[in-house]
């Protein structure tokens, strides 16, 4: 990394010995063109994530999914739903099925239900992964600046090696996507290309 802080932000967390793929909130609200959080590059991210998931399954690497879900009255949404009112689309009784995953989990794959940006906050994700011996998280999903970023930071905080797959994430604009990936790569995670992720998974 060039610039006056290049050496300060030149480290890599690398890969541990046992990875899992974590697909973050890749649901219709983001991937459908008419969704309340529709993203312009969502289709490419879905296709890249599908490749990750297929390779992980072929290699017996665990795949974990996250979704956002709220009680019908949003009582468990706290101030987050006040700040982002469109999150009401994830209430249990909301119309549109916007919380449905764009890719289908297989039987036995864990689906973590969350109410906030990080997949770790208030959920069973960390103990589930630790119990399975997982030490590396290959992160995909949406959005890069929101739930992917928050999950990557908490993965590092929780002792996991976060690997964020560039092509398997998406955001509201290319600039938001790229800027957040650059900052994540500098401080909290390794941002890697899809090919590198697939090659690592295929070695497991």
Give the active site residues: 147
Find where tokens 């992980």 sit.
56
Find where tokens 């879905």 sit.
46
- Which tokens sit at 143? 């959005």
Q: Which residues contact 17 (CB under 8 A, 6 or more apart)?
A: 135, 136
Q: Which residues contact 191 (CB under 8 A, 6 or more apart)?
A: 164, 166, 181, 182, 184, 185
């Amino acid at each position: 990394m060039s610039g006056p802080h290049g050496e300060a932000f030149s480290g890599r967390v690398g890969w541990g010995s046992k990875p899992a793929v974590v697909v973050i909130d890749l649901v219709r609200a983001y991937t459908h063109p008419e969704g309340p959080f529709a993203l312009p590059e969502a289709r490419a991210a879905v296709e890249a994530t599908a490749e990750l998931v297929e390779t992980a399954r072929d290699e017996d690497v665990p795949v974990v999914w996250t979704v956002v879900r709220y009680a019908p009255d949003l009582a468990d949404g706290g101030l987050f739903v006040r700040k982002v009112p469109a999150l009401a689309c994830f209430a249990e009784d909301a119309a549109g099925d916007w919380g449905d995953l764009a890719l289908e989990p297989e039987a036995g794959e864990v689906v973590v239900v969350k109410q906030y940006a990080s997949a770790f906050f208030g959920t069973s994700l960390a103990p589930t992964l630790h119990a399975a011996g997982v030490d590396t998280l290959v992160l995909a999903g949406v959005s890069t600046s929101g739930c992917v970023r928050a999950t990557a930071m908490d993965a590092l905080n929780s002792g996991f090696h976060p690997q964020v797959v560039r092509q398997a994430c998406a955001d509201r604009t290319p600039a938001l996507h790229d800027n957040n990936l650059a900052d994540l790569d500098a401080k909290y995670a390794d941002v890697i290309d899809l090919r590198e992720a697939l090659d690592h998974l295929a070695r497991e």
